[in-house]
């Protein structure tokens, strides 16, 4: 998680595309040994899914092993943090829901988002950031969020 924050905060990532609301859709994230990863973000209310792909050559890619087998890779975490930094929000990522709730209480107008891998859907992490477009949504419990997301 530290590596992801470092990449996003110090602008090592590059926003490749945005939607009509200027929300980040695709981010280019550097990996080890000079590799490049393309991360596609999809938003569904308080759920964000990431699809991370290692770029091979001009038009080829393979799924990121970390996002496919290990849950959410650091490239995906860096991409979602890049999106938050674009709007001058200070994001935090944690693997525990109770810590996400504590962080939410420390951040004024914060909200908890669930970040999961599009490729594996096994594990997930929680992103805490200033509420962007869910201002009127009721606060949900961990059980409600996980049920909504099919876990």
Q: How far is CA 5 from the centre of its chain?
A: 11
pTM of the full structure: 0.78
CA dihedral of 65, 70, 72, 75, whole degrees rounded to 10: -40
Q: How far is CA 105 from the centre of its chain?
A: 20
Strand partners, 92: 128
Q: How many helices (H) and strands (E) does the chain have?
A: 5, 8
- Cβ contacts of 123 within 8 Å, gap of 6 or more: 70, 71, 72, 116, 117
Q: What is the pLDDT of residue 75?
A: 93
Q: 55: pLDDT confidence band, cut at 50, 70 and 90?
A: very high
Q: What is the pLDDT of residue 132?
A: 45
Q: What is the overall mean pLDDT for the chain?
A: 81
Instruction: Count the domains in the chain.
Output: 1
Q: What is the pLDDT of residue 72?
A: 87
Which of 127, 112, 120, 22 is closest to 69 using CA atoms?
120
Note down the domain range covering 109. Answer: 2-148
Tens of pLDDT, residues 32-43: 889 999 999 998
If you write DSSP's letter for every residue of 49-68 in order, what string do you get?
EEEEEEEETTTEEEE-HHHH
Q: 137: pLDDT confidence band, cut at 50, 70 and 90?
A: very low
Tens of pLDDT, residues 76-128: 999 999 998 888 787 888 888 888 887 777 766 677 888 888 887 666 788 77
């Amino acid at each position: 998680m530290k590596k992801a924050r470092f990449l996003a905060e110090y602008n090592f990532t590059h926003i490749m595309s945005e939607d009509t609301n200027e929300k980040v859709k695709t981010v280019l994230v550097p990996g080890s040994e000079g590799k490049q990863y393309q991360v596609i973000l999809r938003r569904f209310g308080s759920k964000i899914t990431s699809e991370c792909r290692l770029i091979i050559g001009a038009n080829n890619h393979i799924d990121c092993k970390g996002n496919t087998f290990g849950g959410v890779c650091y490239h995906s975490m860096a991409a979602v943090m890049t999106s938050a930094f674009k709007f001058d929000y200070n994001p935090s990522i944690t693997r525990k829901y109770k810590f996400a709730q504590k962080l939410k209480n420390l951040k004024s107008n914060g909200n908890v988002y669930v970040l999961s891998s599009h490729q594996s859907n096994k594990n997930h992490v929680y992103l805490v950031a200033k509420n962007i477009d869910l201002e009127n949504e009721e606060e949900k419990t961990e059980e409600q969020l996980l049920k909504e997301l099919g876990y």
